[in-house]
């Protein structure tokens, strides 16, 4: 199957703010990456014990901060002063800190809603995130993503962000019968965009998605070889730790026609 021209140009999301350039999910990264030419900043959100949206990838604080234990077991006042490892004084961000940086810029937000250390959903996270994004003027500029598709459908019942992307792990995608079958299952839920690991993306899969009126993107494209594969396959969008390389390669491909 020959892939037709994509419905839109491939967009680039700086994964965790550009984790190959700056400390992941830090305000330094979010502030600097908006000048690189990406369309999205990608980050992760958990919920504190008292319902505050915390910007951190892991459900545990240990790897990236001076704190320890589950994010969801501690209140915001208790954790907001934790220092990010690798910095002298930079603290754990709140979602409001990220929206404050992005709102005056031209860069939109791609927000992955996480689950807790016990793999359970945070009670009320959809409402809390939707309300904060709306109050910050960022709801219509935010794409909500998750590996837990129920989170996406529940969020959609509450609010209308810029879009939704269902994420799928490599093994799960294989267990479902491959990318095209996974897309069908996603569409059955009323969702229209899927992101697979970059190793599972192909031009044929992108073409099949477009034929079905769906969009197919990727995650995990962090080096030049991976980025080239994703751009050549004409993915709808992808996340990368190296947005600088991705933007330059996309520009060069566009110049080649």
Mean pLDDT of 57-75: 98
> Residue 237: which H helix or E strand, with range?
strand 237-240
Task: Indicate the average pLDDT of the chain.
Answer: 95
- Is 102:38 a contact under the CB 8 Å cutoff? no
Q: Report whether 180 contacts 186 (CB < 8 A).
A: no
pTM comes to: 0.95
Q: Does residue 122 surpass a pLDDT of 70?
A: yes
CA-based end-to-end distance of the chain: 21
- Please answer whether residues 28 and 45 qualify as being in contact, where contact means their C-beta atoms are separated by less than 8 angstroms: no
Nearest 5 degrees, angle CA 88-CA 91-CA 97? Answer: 135
Walk me through the domains of the chain, giving residue ranges and CATH numbers. Answer: 11-255 (3.20.20.190)
pLDDT digit string, tens, across residues 172-217:
999 999 999 999 999 999 999 999 999 999 999 999 999 999 999 9
**Low-confidence winner among 8-17, 50-59, 90-99 (lowest mean pLDDT):** 8-17
Please, is 6 exposed, middle or buried when counting C-beta atoms within 10 Å of its C-beta (0-12, 13-18, 19+)? middle
What's the confidence (pLDDT) of residue 6? 40
Cα–Cα distance for residue pair 116/46, rounded to 1 Å: 7
Q: Mean pLDDT throughout 49-74?
A: 98
Q: How far apart are CA 181 and CA 192, in angstroms?
A: 13
Span 103-131, average pLDDT = 98
């Amino acid at each position: 199957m020959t892939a037709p021209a994509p419905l839109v140009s491939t967009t680039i999301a700086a994964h965790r703010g550009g984790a190959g350039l700056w400390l992941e999910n830090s305000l330094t990264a979010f502030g600097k990456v908006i000048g690189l030419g990406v369309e999205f900043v990608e980050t992760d959100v958990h919920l504190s014990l008292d319902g505050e949206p915390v910007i951190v990838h892991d459900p545990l604080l240990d790897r990236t901060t001076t704190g320890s234990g589950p994010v969801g077991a501690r209140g915001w006042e208790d954790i907001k002063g934790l220092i990010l490892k690798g910095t002298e004084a930079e603290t754990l961000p709140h979602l409001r800190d990220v929206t404050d940086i992005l709102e005056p810029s031209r860069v939109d937000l791609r927000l992955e809603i996480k689950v807790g250390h016990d793999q359970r959903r945070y009670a009320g996270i959809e409402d809390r995130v939707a309300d904060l994004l709306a109050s910050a003027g960022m709801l219509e500029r935010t794409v909500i993503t998750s590996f837990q598709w129920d989170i996406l459908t529940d969020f959609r019942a509450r609010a209308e962000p810029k879009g939704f992307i269902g994420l799928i792990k490599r093994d799960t995608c294989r267990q479902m019968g491959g990318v095209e079958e996974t897309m069908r299952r996603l569409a059955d839920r009323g969702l229209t965009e899927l992101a697979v690991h970059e190793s599972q993306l192909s031009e044929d899969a992108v073409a099949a998605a477009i034929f079905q009126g769906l969009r197919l993107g990727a995650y995990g494209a962090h080096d030049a070889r991976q980025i080239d594969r994703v751009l050549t396959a004409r993915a709808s969008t992808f996340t990368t730790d190296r947005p600088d390389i991705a933007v330059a390669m996309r520009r060069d491909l566009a110049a080649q026609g």
